Amino acid sequence: MQTYKRLLGATTLGLILAAGLAAPAFAQKLDNKTGPSTLTTNAAGDIDFGDDSSEWANDGECDDPRFSGTGSAAELVDADIRKDATDCRAAFAAGTVTLVEAGSTPADITIASPIDAIDFGDDSSEWANDGECDDPRFKGEGSAEELLDADIRKDATDCKAAYEAGTVSLADDNSNANATTTDTPATGTDTPATAAEIDFGDDSSEWANDGECDDPRFSGTGSAVELLDADIRKDATDCKTAYDAGTVTFNGDTAGSSATKVDISEIDFGDDTSEWAKDEECDDPRFSGTGAASEMLDDDIGHDATDCKAAYAAGTVSFDPDGTAATSASPASTEFDYGSDTSKWANDGECDDPRFVGEGTNKKQLYEDQMADATDCKALEAAGKVQIRQVYQPSYAAGAPYDSSEIEFGDNTSSYANDDQCDDPRFEGPGAAITLLDSDLEHDADDCKTAFEAGLIVLREDDGI
């Protein structure tokens, strides 16, 4: 399993500026501080209520923690500051909430962080100096629409300029560390989970203690990119550390579990009579995960035993006894599968599927959007504005085996060597790992050689042999 090797070193920042603060006191609070700040008063016209982007907006309660009163929600988190405008404006007008007075909360200093205290990093991001802040530690109208952890501290000029202009602020990651809610069946109300209430489990995952939370019950910047049901309650140290740091939130005990974990001895893997047996991919549609084939047939249920048993033992697939094939198309089909329109960016006039290149593609193509922006990509391909990357053409794999004698693959010293995915960042294609690290350059020889010869990866255009 491939993961981003990062933990977001977030700084908890107060963004609230209380009303009714006398001028001398306000001046004292601003002493030795620079960067954006906003003074609000108890006059409704002077209050920046923000927008309605909170998850709890328009529910009849004011969820912005800058306010208090009978019209406020019982539980308030900093993430909702200026994010529940309609509710809070109505409650303020009705007199059921007022702005919190200075000093009534633990965070007496409630202005933005001094700019000289922020490590903006460098400009090594691919998107540096494009006029948008691409560092996901920041939020605001000056931020790029899509943010990647890989750009943390990598867009210094843009982010510093936006911060100075007041169009971004540092995201308050720790303020909502324990604010994930779980539904209480008895009442139907939302209550926050605390670390003491969560069964983190043990550290028996293959990926335990690697600095990332691999338990799919959690999500956030501290989570691994790929999550498997097999790792539920199996990465306790990493997940508790990330949870306490506020870089992951708990989504409930049933979250992320699409299939029941079954002991390998209890699974009837069947035989190897599938046409696709022993091709190092699990073709049985009862299984899903990175070790499973992209196209499945019901006819292969119980007929790819060797591959599926190996993948299950390695934790690259999970088992769903009621699983059925995702598609009835033949794996040997030469027709390109555009996928669906499940991407959040679908039907926006740009192709977000990373299998495509060309002027019609979005500048940031994410793995999660692969096969998820069909209408846009198909239309743009027909218009000649995008093209399918060669290695994703069904006909390319059909032309295997390919000669790899001219390529220096290196050795197998990568931590992810021999996992049936190519982790060398010089390659791309369906046989490559989702996340590629420079440290694995020429260090996953066997996986990459096998995938290259099978037509599952190619050298990137900007990498020589």
> What was the pLDDT predicted at 330?
33
Q: Give domain status of residue 148, yes or no.
A: yes
> What was the pLDDT predicted at 458?
95
Q: Give domain status of residue 203, yes or no.
A: yes
Output the CA–CA distances (angstroms, integers) from residue 86 to 45, 53, 59, 68, 72, in the order listed. Answer: 14, 10, 9, 15, 13
Q: Give domain status of residue 136, yes or no.
A: yes
- Contact status, residue 143 vs residue 113, Cβ threshold 8 Å: no
Give Cα 184 distance to the centre of its chain.
27
Q: Give domain status of residue 5, yes or no.
A: no
Q: What is the pLDDT of residues 252-308, one digit of tens each?
A: 665 554 444 566 777 888 888 999 998 988 999 888 777 788 788 888 888 998 898
Q: Give domain status of residue 30, yes or no.
A: yes
- Burial bucket for residue 43 (CB in 10 Å: 0-12, 13-18, 19+): exposed
- Burial bucket for residue 330 (CB in 10 Å: 0-12, 13-18, 19+): exposed
Q: Give domain status of residue 445, yes or no.
A: no
Q: Which pLDDT band holds residue 173 (cuts at 50, 70, 90)?
A: very low
Q: Kindly state whether residues 274 and 300 are assigned to the same domain.
A: yes
Q: Kindly state whether residues 93 and 28 are assigned to the same domain.
A: yes
> What was the pLDDT predicted at 15?
32
> What was the pLDDT predicted at 208?
87
Residue indicated by tokens 């809610």: 181
Q: Give domain status of residue 399, yes or no.
A: no
Q: Kindly state whether residues 86 and 48 are assigned to the same domain.
A: yes
Instruction: Kindly report the pTM of this predicted structure.
Output: 0.35
Residue 59 structural domain: 23-99
What's the domain count of the chain? Answer: 4
Q: What is the pLDDT of residues 355-406, one digit of tens each?
A: 999 999 987 788 788 888 999 999 999 999 999 998 998 888 888 899 999 9
Q: Give domain status of residue 358, yes or no.
A: no
> What was the pLDDT predicted at 170?
77
